[in-house]
Structure 1
């Protein structure tokens, strides 16, 4: 089914007391086309990963049986979100949602509005969706997600960019979507490698790269080494993954963890994270998902790997135009660490920082609640930088 015009929901809803569950429920509405009333019915019953899975599959089955395929796709896709790698349902529901998505939106592919490619990369293939600008082309955008993204949930952002005059290449790299769940390729902090492969494959010469969430670190990292990237949009403040994790902790805990890491105190750090996971659903999910996606055998090993995911050590190599977009009530990231990011970008051609707020309905992670305003901000910035 094709849309006459790409539109986005606006606003944030209070659906669950736990911040991450509440955010992800909003994400289902804002990015995955879920229905608010469906989610209101089950949101209060979500207490942990198990109840998340049960309730999302339940409303997915209900929507499917009622012929509401668009909503069923959203619920099945996100039901997988809090499943862990040992759960056989993780791949089952990921594949179900993906298959339903491409069947439901097949008209976009049948008339070649969108073309899907598989780009060879090392021992796997990177999925890429390509759409061309409506009207005169203003620029070429290379778009990707972050730590826990699915390519398909950026599908309509891709089409919105095309409506506004941009060729767009939307892709998944190691650690993301199909590449992780089906092909088993874990994350790499050397994001310039998959980016260069995609740029080479399509013979692109001048692009704007946009990375969401952890992509806010991955995209600038790629730009440090791949100079066919001329403009960088970091769709989240993300100077260093490890410092992002620490930024939400009390000051004393931050200092303690840093000291233990310096002393290689693996047993104590593993115990600390284990205790934290018992009392905090977000910590529990973050550790288990992280160990899965980053191929780490312990929380300590995961923390060591996180410290590789940074731009502070390569910031001086980034010499392009850069836009950083933050949110002042991001439950994952303390926006005050933006100074660390700005300070490391010492050689950029230009640097713009935009902090969204509650008044704009865009104060949460990736500005969830006002996608249109966020995308319009990116478009306006590209137009201004290029003129």
Structure 2
């Protein structure tokens, strides 16, 4: 089913007292076309990963029975979010949601509004969706997500850019979506490698790359080594994944963890992270998803890998125009670490930093409370830079 015009929901709702459950419930409504009233009815029942899974599958089944396929896609897709490695339902509901998505929106593909490319990369296939600019082309955008995204979630972001004059290539890389869940390809911090493969396969140049969430680190990293990228939008403050994780801790705890990591005290690190996971659902999800997507055998191993995902040591290689976008109440990222990012970008052509706030209804992670405002800001920046 095609939409007459691409629009986005607006709002930030208090749905669950646990910050990450609350954010992901908002995400279902804002980015996945879930029904707000339906989510409100189940939100208070969610206390842990098991109740998350049960409640979302239940309302997904209800939506299917009532013929509300758009909502069912949202619920099934997000039901797997807090399913962890070894749960057979994780792949089952991921595949179900994706199959339903492409069937429901098949008109976009039947009339060639969107073209699907399959790009060979190492031992896997990277999926790329392409849509052509409406009217005169302003620029070419290469768009991707981050730590826990899948590209269908950015489908209408892609189409919105196209409506506003941009050719857009939306892709999943290692560690993301089906590349991880179906093909088993884990994350690489050397994001320039899959990006270069895609650019050469599609034969594109003079590109603006946009990376959301962890993509706020991956996209600048790719630009450091791939100069066909001329403009970079980091859709989250993300200088160093390990520092992002530490930024949620009190300063004293940060110092202790850094010291333990320096001396490779793995048993104590594992104990501390496991104790923290029992008290904090966000930490629990972060560790379990991280070990799954980054091929880590322990919390300590995951922490070591996180330190590789950073731009601080290669910031001087980034010489393009850069836009960094943050949010003042991001539950994942303390926006004050923007200083670390701006300081490491010391050789760029130009630098713009935009901090969205609660007054703009865009203060949450990836500003999804006000997606239109965020995308319009990106569009305006590209137009001004070009």
In the superposition, the TM-score normalised over structure 2's length comes to 1.00
Which stretches of structure 1, 4 residues or more, deviate above 2 A after TM superposition? none
Q: 2:110 matched to which residue of 1? A: 110
Q: 1:275 matched to which residue of 2? A: 275
Deviation at 1:368, TM superposition (A): 1.6
1:162-311 matches, cutoff 5 A = 162-311=162-311
Secondary structure of the structure 2 residue equivalent to 1:42 = helix
1:345-356 matches, cutoff 5 A = 345-356=345-356
Deviation at 1:253, TM superposition (A): 0.5
The CA distance in 1 between the partners of 2:279 and 2:208, in whole Å, is 41
**Is residue 383 from structure 1 mapped to residue 383 from structure 2 by the alignment?**
yes
Deviation at 1:184, TM superposition (A): 0.2
The CA distance in 1 between the partners of 2:152 and 2:314, in whole Å, is 30
**Is residue 88 from structure 1 mapped to residue 88 from structure 2 by the alignment?**
yes
Secondary structure of the structure 2 residue equivalent to 1:354 = strand
Task: In structure 1, list runs of 5 or more residues that go unmatched.
Answer: none
Deviation at 1:238, TM superposition (A): 0.1
Secondary structure of the structure 2 residue equivalent to 1:142 = strand
The CA distance in 1 between the partners of 2:116 and 2:71, in whole Å, is 23
Q: 1:321 matched to which residue of 2? A: 321
In the superposition, the TM-score normalised over structure 1's length comes to 1.00
Superimposed CA distance per residue, residues 315-341 of structure 1 (whole angstroms, 9 cap, x where no aligned partner): 000000000000000000000000000
Deviation at 1:162, TM superposition (A): 0.1
Q: 1:332 matched to which residue of 2? A: 332
The CA distance in 2 between the partners of 1:72 and 1:233, in whole Å, is 32
Q: 1:8 matched to which residue of 2? A: 8
The CA distance in 1 between the partners of 2:85 and 2:64, in whole Å, is 25
1:70-89 matches, cutoff 5 A = 70-89=70-89
Secondary structure of the structure 2 residue equivalent to 1:277 = helix
The CA distance in 2 between the partners of 1:205 and 1:329, in whole Å, is 36
Deviation at 1:264, TM superposition (A): 0.5
How many residue pairs end up in the alignment?
Answer: 386
Q: 2:26 matched to which residue of 1? A: 26
Task: In structure 2, list runs of 5 or more residues that go unmatched.
Answer: none
Q: 2:342 matched to which residue of 1? A: 342
Secondary structure of the structure 2 residue equivalent to 1:77 = helix
Superimposed CA distance per residue, residues 50-84 of structure 1 (whole angstroms, 9 cap, x where no aligned partner): 00000000000000100000000000000000000
The CA distance in 1 between the partners of 2:281 and 2:378, in whole Å, is 33
